[in-house]
């Protein structure tokens, strides 16, 4: 009798484990499939073959500025009280469509003649500064891995809009921080984009 009870318990446990294993597979698939595509201000899905303006929710436009006396690198800044929408940008995901929580490159839609012809207009973070980790240019387009780890960003849903995040998955073995992209007031003059604790709330408008 004890042998029968033990066998029944083992069979029941095996069935439970099998059920859990089978039920976990659809959850993993649905989680990956639930990464929604990013929308612009008109409700249309962002496309990889189109340029977009990043529109800060609190006003201003996202632009590129060089340091005084140094034409390059170009720093990503928010400029207020100026007419216009900033620089058109192109978004290049590591694979597929432009979705939330997906690694992507951000770059100028066109070259910038302030820098040499071989200077990259791809955004990257610059961890070399002792002041803050600023968002600048001369990053690497594509080639996911340790050599391009500083050039990958993500778009995340934030309240009724979006935010940019630095937390790449393209190099699982790389050590890096995970932080929001926000505004750092540099030398009481420039509102530079940098890794901060307070995200910059943004929307996207097709150029």
Q: For residue 113, with 0-12 CB atoms within 10 Å meaning exposed, 13-18 middle and 19 or more buried, which class applies?
A: exposed
Is it the case that residue 58 has pLDDT exceeding 50?
Answer: yes
C-alpha 55/C-alpha 41 separation (Å) is: 9
Predicted TM-score of the model (pTM): 0.81
Report how far residue 198's alpha carbon sits from residue 191's, in angstroms, rounded to the nearest whole number.
Answer: 14
Q: Is the pLDDT of residue 41 over 70?
A: yes
Q: State yes or no: pLDDT of 100 exceeds 90.
A: yes
Beta pairing, strands 202-206 & 154-158: unpaired
Q: What is the pLDDT of residue 182?
A: 98
Q: Quick one: pLDDT band at residue 23, thresholds 50, 70, 90?
A: very low
Examine the pLDDT at 47 and tell me if it is beyond 50: yes
- What local confidence, expressed as pLDDT, does residue 3 receive? 46
Percentage, residues of the chain above pLDDT 90: 63
What pLDDT band is residue 91 in, cutting at 50, 70 and 90? very high
pLDDT digits (tens, 9 = 90+) for 140-183: 999 999 999 999 999 999 999 999 999 999 998 998 889 999 99
Angle at 79 between CA 203 and CA 205, to 5 degrees: 25
Confidence category of residue 77, pLDDT binned at 50, 70, 90: very high
């Amino acid at each position: 009798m004890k042998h029968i009870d033990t066998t029944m318990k083992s069979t029941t446990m095996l069935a439970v484990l099998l059920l859990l294993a089978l039920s976990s597979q659809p959850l993993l698939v649905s989680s990956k499939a639930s990464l929604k595509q990013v929308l612009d201000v008109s409700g249309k899905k962002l496309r990889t073959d189109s340029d977009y303006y990043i529109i800060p929710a609190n006003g201003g436009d996202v632009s590129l500025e060089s340091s005084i006396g140094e034409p390059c690198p170009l720093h990503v800044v928010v400029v207020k009280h100026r007419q216009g929408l900033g620089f058109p940008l192109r978004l290049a995901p590591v694979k597929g469509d432009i979705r939330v929580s997906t690694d992507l490159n951000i770059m100028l839609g066109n070259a910038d003649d302030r820098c040499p012809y071989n200077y990259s207009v791809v955004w990257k973070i610059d961890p070399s500064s002792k002041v803050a980790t600023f968002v600048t240019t001369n990053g690497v387009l594509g080639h996911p891995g340790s050599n391009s780890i500083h050039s990958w960003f993500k778009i995340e849903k934030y309240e009724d809009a979006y935010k940019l995040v630095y937390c790449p998955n393209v190099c699982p073995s790389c050590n890096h921080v995970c932080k929001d992209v926000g505004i750092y007031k540099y030398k009481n003059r420039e509102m530079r984009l940098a890794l901060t604790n307070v995200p910059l709330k943004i929307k996207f408008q097709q150029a």
